[in-house]
Structure formats: C-alpha cells, structure tokens
Amino acid sequence: MIKIEQLHKSYPIGKDSLHVLKGIDLHIKEGEFVSIMGSSGSGKSTLLNIVGLLDVHDEGNYYLNGQLIKDMNEKKAAQLRNKFLGFVFQSFNLISYKTALENVALPLYYKGINRKERLKIALDYLDQVELKDWANHLPNELSGGQKQRVAIARALVTKPKVVLADEPTGALDSTTTDSVMDLLKDINDKGMTVFVITHEEEVAAQTKRIVRLKDGVIISDELTKAAKAV
C-alpha cells in the first residue's frame, strides 16, 4: 500500500538546511495498523505529511497504492488525497461554522457527490461513531472526544485506503483516548490501513506494528504483542 525507498527531506532554514529525513525505507502493506513513534524533531510529522501528499520529498521513491508519487501538481495531489487518504489531526481541524454533519460531508462535496446523497452517507458515518444525535451541533458544542470522533468519521467517509492520524489522542484525556483508539482498531479490523503518529507508548502499544524514528532514521521496526496475539 505504502512503499518508501531511501526517502530524504530537508527544510531550508535561512542559508542552511535542516536535514529531517535521512533515508527512510518503509513498507506498509494493506490492512496494517502501524504507529510511528519518536520524540519531537525526529521527523515523524514530516514523514506523515509526505505520505499524506501534503508535502513533497527531495530524494527517494514513494509509491502510494503502487503509483509512483513524483512531480505532483496540487490538483493531482488533491484528487489522490480525496480518493485514497483520510486525515485525523491532533487539533481535530473541524470547520467551526459547519455542523458535525456538514463537516463529515465536506470530503464528499469535493468528490462531486450531490448534497442529498452526501448528507445521507455522512449521517451513516456519524452513526458509526455514535454521534448521530449530535449531527446538527457545531464543533464548539462538542467535547474533545466527540470532535475527534467527528474528525474520524470525516476521514472515513470517502472510504479511503489509508487513514493517517497525526497525534489523534494528543489533546484527549485517557478515557477518550481509549475510545478513539478502539474506533481506530475497529476501522483496522474492517481491513483499512491505519497509520498513526504518536509519542505515547500506551497508544502505540495498541497498534500492531511500531516504527521508531530518531533523528530522521528508523531505529527499530517491530510487531507488537497485540499483533502477535491475533
């Protein structure tokens, strides 16, 4: 599903440049539940942005669903994001003046699905995250956990191949963290590839494979107990 070979990325800072990713090799197969761990500055967010087509790499190859990602223009990238990827952010990133339902329906709008159909599908997904009753509430009327569940529903609504979650539990307490992780596990059980970035050991432990990053290189890549238990 995701295949990365010798990926390099550096950011220019003034005259110097900061070498963030120093040759990453990573292969994630369809249906995997992977977490990327590392302290801040280890390059994990950069990796996710590149995988999520929000940023471009300097060197190396990146294949998404067997397709080589190279010289992407914005339009192409937007279409691929819409088709293959679902995003979950640490700060939820819901649009504040749209209701939960409209937020979930938004990716379908960019897919060109008509409004009636869109809202029907969105409501279905809100039901899956048990927020059907909150469909017409604005984000600021929801709790953090609820917001994240809306965000997850939004990530799933286009039936993506991969769900990319950037610190999905970073802004949540332990109880809601568990419920969000359960949700991600459910998604994975249904066959979707889930790619989580976190720095919390407990969260990582609930995934099936942990990749540890340090200073832009992978220092370990191992299956967790959860995976072995299956």
Partner 1 sequence: MKFLFDSDTWQEIYGSIRKNKVRTAITIIGVLWGIFLLVVLLGAARGMENGFNKLFGNFATNSVFVWTQSTDTPFKGFQEGRRFKLTMNDIAVLNSEYSEEIKLLAPRNQTSNLIIHDFKSGDFRVSGDYPVLDQIQKKSLLYGRFLNENDILSTAKVAVISEDMYKQLFDKDVMPIGQYIKINSINYKVIGVYKPSNTIDFDGDCAYIPFTTFRKVYNTANKVDWMMITANEGTDIEQMEKDVLLTLKGLHKVHPEDERAFGSVNLGKEIGKITGFITGMQFLTWFVGIATLIAGVFAIGNILLITVKERTKEIGIRRALGATPKSIRQQIILESVFLTTIAGMLGIIFGSFVLFIIDSAFGQGEDAALINPTVNIPIILIAFATLIVLGTLIGLIPAHMATVVKPIEALREE
Residues that bind partner 1 (CB under 8 A): 49, 52, 54-55, 74-75, 78-79, 81-83, 87, 89-91, 93-98, 102, 106-107, 109-111, 114-115, 154, 158
Q: How far is the CB of 106 from partner 1 (least distance, A)?
A: 6
Q: How far is the CB of 205 from partner 1 (least distance, A)?
A: 25
DSSP 10: E
Closer to partner 1 by CB, 27 or 83: give it: 83
Relative orientation angle of helices 74-84 and 100-111, to the nearest 10 degrees = 120
Rg (CA), the chain: 18
134/146 Cα distance (integer angstroms): 9
- Of 29, 21, 68, 23, the closest CA to residue 49 belongs to 21
Q: How far is the CB of 60 from partner 1 (least distance, A)?
A: 18
Closer to partner 1 by CB, 12 or 175: give it: 12
Maximum CA pair distance of the chain? 54
Closer to partner 1 by CB, 138 or 227: give it: 138
Closer to partner 1 by CB, 154 or 209: give it: 154
- Of 125, 146, 129, the closest CA to residue 137 belongs to 146
- Contact between 99 and 137 under an 8 Å Cβ cutoff? The reply is yes
Q: How far is the CB of 93 from partner 1 (least distance, A)?
A: 5
Q: How far is the CB of 227 from partner 1 (least distance, A)?
A: 29
Q: How far is the CB of 87 from partner 1 (least distance, A)?
A: 5
Closer to partner 1 by CB, 70 or 83: give it: 83
- Contact between 53 and 85 under an 8 Å Cβ cutoff? The reply is yes
Closer to partner 1 by CB, 2 or 157: give it: 157
130/150 Cα distance (integer angstroms): 9
Closer to partner 1 by CB, 29 or 76: give it: 76
- Within 13 Å of residue 215, how many CA atoms lie on the same side as its CB? 0
Q: How far is the CB of 58 from partner 1 (least distance, A)?
A: 15
Burial class of 129 by CB neighbour count within 10 A (0 to 12, 13 to 18, 19+): buried
